[in-house]
Amino acid sequence: MAKKEKGFTFIEIMLIVMIMAFILAIAVPNALRARRSSMRYTCIGNLRQLDSAKSLWATEHSGAPSMEDLIPDHVRVAPECPAGGIYTLGEVGNNTTCSIEGHSIDENEE
């Protein structure tokens, strides 16, 4: 009687590799899109927090506050854009902006 060897054939291994590649081809773009989306919404939350802090600051002062004016009385720590953008506070009554396109309070309220 012939001895039967245990193990996988080359075709079976290649089939598994192809299935894994197919799953990764679907999963990776979705994960990257979700990451960008979460960074955007975190940034917009930071912008709202800064606008709220500017409003509180404006009850006692006039003009445009700096980030140092808001810390630590109105904001504990300076929020940072998770995507690396730079925040511009501007005048009280105007929305705080981020240097990255798509990270703005106005665009989120669609």
Closest CA to 99 of 91, 13, 89: 89
What mean pLDDT value characterizes the chain?
87
- Residue 31 is encoded by which pair of tokens? 């994960």
Q: Is the pLDDT of residue 105 over 90?
A: no
Q: How confident is the model at residue 110 (pLDDT cuts 50, 70, 90)?
A: very low
| Contact criterion met (CB below 8 Å) for 89 and 96 | yes
All domains of the chain in start order, with CATH: 12-108 (3.30.1300)
Rounded to two decimals, the pTM is 0.72
The residues, any chain, with a CB within 8 Å of residue 41's CB and separated by 6 or more, are: 108
Each residue of 8-54: pLDDT tens digit? 889 999 999 999 999 999 999 999 999 999 999 999 999 999 998 98
pLDDT at residue 12, rounded to an integer:
92
Alpha helices for 1-110 (secondary structure H):
10-58, 67-70, 105-108
| Contact criterion met (CB below 8 Å) for 81 and 74 | no
- A 10 A CB-CB count for 41 gives 13
Query: What does the alpha-carbon distance between residue 47 and residue 109 come to, in Å, rounded to a whole number?
Result: 13
Each residue of 53-69: pLDDT tens digit? 988 888 888 778 888 88
Q: How confident is the model at residue 1 (pLDDT cuts 50, 70, 90)?
A: low
Closest CA to 53 of 64, 43, 42: 64
